[in-house]
Amino acid sequence: MKTYEGGPMRVASTLLFILFSVLLGHAEEGMWTFDNPPRAILKERYGFEATEAWLDHLRLSSVRFGGGSGSFVSANGLVITNHHVGRGQIQKLSTREKDYVAHGFYARTPAEELKCPDLELNVLMSFEDVTPRVLGAVKPGMTGMEALDARKKAIAEITKESREKTNLRSDVVSLYQGSQDWLYRYKKYTDVRLVMCPEAKIAFYGGDPDNFTFPRHDIDVTFFRVYEDGKPAATANYLKWNSAGAEDAELVFVSGHPGSTNRLQTLAQTLFQRDVVYPVRQKSTKRKIDLFKAYAATGAEEKRRAGNTLFGLENSYKVGKGEYQGLLDPRLIAAKQKEEEDLRGRIETNPEWNRTYRWAWDTVAAVVERQRATHLLSTYRTIKSTLYGFAQTLVEYSVEMKKPDNERLTGFQDAHIASTRLRLFSPAPIYLDMEEIQLADGLKESREYLGAQDPYSAAALGTDTPEDVARKLTASTTLVDPEVRRRLFEGGESAITASDDPMIVFARRLYPIAEEMRVWNERNISAPLTKASQVIGSARFTVYGKTMPPDATGTLRLSYGTVKGYPMNGTMAPPQTTFHGLFDRAHSFNYKDPYDLPDRYLERKASLAMETPLNFVSTCDIIGGNSGSPVVNRNGEFVGIVFDGNIESLTGRFVYTDEASRAVSVHSAAIIEALRKIYDAAALADELEGKRTQ
């Protein structure tokens, strides 16, 4: 089922990695795949044996959320994640009358648990190296495009076969810039119910200012429960809860799903990010923040509706700001350059390596030039809106369904269509007023950057204003009703092409232009980049061995590190905070938003043990997507939950250092203290602490 390379070669290459890491200051770097955990480092530095059983248990206790992470914490399907990971579902379950985002939620009995509208959770059941089959499909002499097509077909076949054989969700994951391909199989849970969430105010205490900083004081947790056949699922693999938490300097692990990193990118790609991608993205995100803030300011219900969207945008903006500042630091670019020069320098010492690998950097650089030239098109020939997204999916589906399975776009292949359906048929509320302003401003922004003459913009607007187009689209579309979407989907090509729903008509009009650009990008960007990146990935293996983990890919990874304070602003940040710190901050800001506290915290203050550890930091290497990851100790026990990285960690997208970069977690003790003293949730606390079985 799973494979792992053992033996002396591994130890030697790991030693090389340690040396290399120490030289570059990457002491505790790495979001490691479970097939290649840093066993030797753990053994040598910490005397810790990462056994197969330990790893399997941790992996099978880890849960993937869309864009986030979580873990099983009871035998009865109880899952813990961050509030900000579950927030989308909490928002979808909330109404004007019952605002669980603002006031929190607790189901005292299973019967009170609330079914989430469109949440799919995944558990990684097995993984398998399929590199030979994928790379084997690519024959010598194929053009880049032919190679890309052959590769995609092979992947589609592998996933289809796997799903038919195992009935598990099956994805092929490209690691090490495409130089390895692995088949990952997931158990899927789609009946997921909300058990408990605190108030957003305390889950996200300090709001946008405190986001990505430390010292921190957030109870950023939410509990869900997975159900099978209408009953809480039996989850034999779950993390035992340890309310003592981890001590200063203790070895801890994070098991989660980091979304993406760009550490193995070439220098040319990094400079493209710095010069083009970040400035464009930050400007656009800021514009959307302003748009939704203006909308939220029009009323309490509008504020509630825009809450989750604004949270996400502000979060992205702050991450982007930190990452962009990192890119603007000449030292970061110098470090990237040094790394690249080292690799390329070694390649140049060997004539065969030189012949095989050298060209790839030039190809990447040439592709990057194309990306620089077309970045505004790629960015602004798109429209952000939930309803337009549905329409676009339906129109694409009407085209893709006619192709053989292995030639379809990924989401429409047999292996993934169920997940697409779950999203498409979601009963979650859609707010037409928000859709309208988002569409109007998006269309306006596209026209500003593309020009009115651009075919996409011209097709979208015709002779109308963006506001008119948005008003007409939202005024009479029926896609708000999930049943309408289901009927269109099930009616297939004929139903979709015949539909006169204005949003469908609009999507049909834009489809050829978007599709032309997608094909152009595939041919001119993806195909050559896939090939060249794979060659660079292979070159790295050849030169250094498999000594580094691959860039993050939204799949399960293991990080390790120690609980540890760090130098901050002229002094030291402590390894942890306490409830004393929460009340200090509240009072020091005179309870002004975002430093006010939910009433319950003021009413029950006297009952709280103030010295209970609240949040803590560790050197574990994480990034967005790790939110909600369990932090476990040597015994694999749950000691905390990652919810953030500090501001110093944000440049970790490009280069990791452990001097001041820290993962920020909620301490297990704080969760229990809050459940028992603030939320009267003794039943849940007992379930966590193994004091009762539900």
* 397 touching its own copies, by CB under 8 A: no
Whose Cβ is closer to its own copies: residue 177's or residue 242's?
242
- Selected binder of its own copies within 6, 571, 593, 693 (CB under 8 A): 571
Told to check if 204 binds its own copies by CB under 8 A, we report: no
* Span of 11-19, 188-196, 212-220, 257-265 interacting with its own copies by CB under 8 A: 212-220
By CB under 8 A, tell whether 314 contacts its own copies: no
From 88, 528, 575, 652, residue interacting with its own copies (rule: CB under 8 A): 575
Q: Is 47 in the site for its own copies (CB under 8 A)?
A: no
Structure tokens at 543: 């030169």
> Which of 583, 682, 683, 694 touches its own copies by CB under 8 A?
583
Q: How far is the CB of 12 from its own copies (least distance, A)?
A: 39
Select the span of 293-301, 529-537, 543-551, 580-588 touching its own copies (CB under 8 A). 580-588
Q: Nearer Cβ to its own copies, position 111 or 606?
A: 606
Q: Is 590 in the site for its own copies (CB under 8 A)?
A: yes
Residue with tokens 């969700």: 169
CB 328, min distance to its own copies, A: 14
Our CB check for its own copies shows the closer of 562 and 646 to be: 646
Smaller CB separation from its own copies, 30 or 565? 565
Alpha carbons within 13 angstroms on the beta-carbon side of residue 120 total 17
**Residue 383 CA, distance from chain mean position:** 21
Q: Of 595, 601, 654, 656, which lies in the binding site for its own copies, with binding defined by CB under 8 A?
A: 595
Closer residue to its own copies, CB minimum distance, 86 or 624: 624
Residues with Cβ within 8 Å of residue 398, at least 6 apart in sequence: 492, 493, 496, 497
331, 325 Cβ separation under 8 angstroms? no
Mention every residue, 6+ apart, whose C-beta is less than 8 A from residue 92: 116, 117, 118, 426, 428, 429
Across 364-419, the runs of DSSP E, i.e. the strands, are: none
Smallest distance, its own copies to C-beta of residue 291, A:
24
Q: How far is the CB of 450 from its own copies (least distance, A)?
A: 34
Binding its own copies by CB under 8 A: which of 53, 570, 593, 693? 570
206 binds its own copies per the rule CB under 8 A: yes
Nearer to its own copies, 213 or 694 (CB): 213
| Nearest CA among 647, 665, 643 for reference residue 568 | 647
Nearer to its own copies, 182 or 616 (CB): 616
Cα 372 to the chain's mean position, in Å?
A: 25
Smaller CB distance to its own copies: residue 184 or 205? 205
Q: Does 250 bind its own copies (CB under 8 A)?
A: no
CA distance 579 to 663: 19
Cα–Cα distance, 358 to 351 (Å, whole number):
10
- DSSP, collapsed to helix, strand or coil, labels residue 169 as strand
Q: Is 587 in the site for its own copies (CB under 8 A)?
A: yes
Q: Is 221 in the site for its own copies (CB under 8 A)?
A: no
Q: To 10 degrees, the CA torsion angle through 630, 631, 633, 638?
A: -40
Distance CA 354, CA 377 (A): 36
Distance CA 192, CA 113 (A): 9
> Residue 682 carries which side chain, given as an amino acid letter?
A
Which residues are within 8 A (CB) of 33 and not within 5 positions of it... i.e. 6 or more apart? 127, 175, 182, 549, 550, 555, 556, 557, 558
Chosen residue from 577, 651, 661, 665 binding its own copies by CB under 8 A: 577
Q: Is 574 in the site for its own copies (CB under 8 A)?
A: yes
Cis peptide upstream of residue 198 (ω within 30 degrees of 0): no
**HSE-up of residue 518 (Cα within 13 Å, Cβ side):** 9
Does residue 46 bind its own copies (CB under 8 A)? no
State the minimum distance, in angstroms, from the CB of residue 325 to its own copies: 10
Task: List the one residue from 610, 676, 682, 686 that touches its own copies (CB under 8 A).
Answer: 610
State in angstroms the smallest separation of the CB of 660 from its own copies. 10
CA separation, residue 208 to residues 177, 311, 319, 556, 590 (Å):
34, 8, 11, 28, 18
> Judged by CB under 8 A, does residue 494 bind its own copies?
no
Q: Which of 309, 392, 547, 646 binds its own copies (CB under 8 A)?
A: 646
Q: Tell me which residue of 596, 666, 606, 590 sits closest to 630, measured CA to CA.
A: 666
**Which range in 14-22, 275-283, 386-394, 583-591 contacts its own copies by CB under 8 A?**
583-591
- Only segment of 93-101, 433-441, 584-592, 681-689 that touches its own copies (CB under 8 A): 584-592
Burial pattern 662-674, b for ≥16 Cβ within 10 A else e, equals bbbbbbbbbbbbb
What is the torsional sign of CA 132, 134, 139, 141?
A: negative
Minimum CB separation of residue 355 from its own copies in Å reads: 45
Binding positions for its own copies, 647-676, rule CB under 8 A: 647
Minimum gap (Å) between residue 589 Cβ and its own copies:
5
Cα–Cα dist 510/212, whole Å: 38
> Which residue in the block uniquely carries the two structure tokens 């859709």?
435
Instruction: Look at residues 44, 49, 17 and name the one whose alpha carbon lies nearest to residue 546.
Output: 17
Amino acid at 266: T
Binding site for its own copies (CB under 8 A): 206, 209-213, 215, 248, 318, 322, 565, 568-572, 574-578, 580-581, 583-585, 587-590, 595, 610-611, 613, 646-647
